[in-house]
Amino acid sequence: MPFMGELKQATAYAINVDNAQSSGKTAIVILKINRREKFAAAETHAVAAAVRVTLGDTCGPRIDQVIIQFRLSRGARVNLEILQGLQSFPITIEADADFMFDVVP
C-alpha cells in the first residue's frame, strides 16, 4: 500500500473521483485509524459508471491515519485527485488500489 503523504487534522480534504471512462461502478472505502491503531470509522461509497463525484471529509484530532481503498469494475480506468488546501495528490488507477496518509496536527 503506497504511503501518499500527510493530511492535516481539522482541515477539510476532498477526493475527486472521475469514473467517466468506466462502464461499471467504483467502490470506495475510507478507513480512519485512531491513536491506538484501531479503526475509528469506516465509510463506504459507490460511484456509478460514467460519473464524476467529489467526496469531502475532515479528520478529527484523534485520527492518526487515513486509508482510502478503491475497488474498480473490470476494465475500468479511474482518475483520482485527493486535495487539501494547496496540496494535491493526482492518481490514475486501472486496478484495485489502497493509499495511506498520516494525519498531523
Amino acid letter for position 41? A
Picking from 15, 29, 41, 14, the residue whose alpha carbon sits closest to that of residue 72 is 29
Mean pLDDT of the chain: 93
Ordered by where they begin, the domains of the chain are 3-104 (2.60.40)
pLDDT tens for each residue of 22-42: 889 999 999 999 977 788 889
What is the pLDDT at residue 35? 79
Q: Beta-carbon neighbour count of residue 55 at 10 Å?
A: 16
Res. 20: pLDDT tops 80:
yes
Helix/strand number for the chain, H first, E second: 0, 9
Q: Beta-carbon neighbour count of residue 95 at 10 Å?
A: 11
